């Protein structure tokens, strides 16, 4: 059964916040975070009569296509945010270096 995309996205945010609160910045690794993400287990239930998946936690009711669609959209949003953070980090590190050189 697929994991509920809505609940998974919410859970990821929670896990990431906890990880960042508990792990020093220099000890953080994306792989560690992804490993924690892999442990998320919020399977949806299949309603065989209507061929829809149901999430008992948030009540999401969707076909397999809709589930993938929602997951894709949520991932896209996450990716855009990460790219922006990377840009910011790059800019920040560069400006820090420039400050040291001056
Ligand atoms: Zn859900």
Please compute the mean of the pLDDT values over residues 74-88 and round it to a whole number. 77
Which pLDDT score is estimated for 70?
Answer: 95
Higher pLDDT, 101 or 14: 14
- Sign of the C-alpha dihedral computed for residues 69, 59, 14 and 28 taken in this order: negative
Higher pLDDT, 26 or 75: 26
pTM for the complete prediction? Answer: 0.73
Please compute the mean of the pLDDT values over residues 6-27 and round it to a whole number. 95
pLDDT(52) > 90: yes
Q: What is the mean pLDDT of the chain?
A: 89
CA distance 91 to 79: 18
| Structure tokens belonging to residue 81 | 């945010």
Higher pLDDT, 40 or 83: 40
Separation of 28 CA from ligand 1 center, angstroms? 28
Higher pLDDT, 73 or 102: 73
| Structure tokens belonging to residue 72 | 């894709």
Q: Please measure the distance between the N-terminal and C-terminal CA atoms of the chain and give it in whole angstroms.
A: 57
Separation of 60 CA from ligand 1 center, angstroms? 6
Separation of 5 CA from ligand 1 center, angstroms? 7
CA distance 86 to 88: 5
């Amino acid at each position: 059964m697929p994991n509920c995309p809505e609940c998974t996205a919410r859970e990821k945010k929670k896990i990431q916040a906890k990880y960042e609160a508990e792990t020093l910045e220099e000890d953080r690794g994306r792989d560690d975070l992804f490993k924690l993400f892999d442990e998320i287990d919020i399977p949806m239930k299949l309603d065989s009569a209507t061929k829809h998946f149901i999430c008992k936690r948030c009540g999401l009711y969707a076909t397999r296509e809709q589930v993938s669609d929602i997951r894709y959209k949520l991932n896209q949003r996450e990716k855009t945010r990460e790219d922006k953070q990377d840009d910011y980090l790059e800019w920040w590190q560069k400006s820090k270096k420039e400050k040291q050189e001056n």
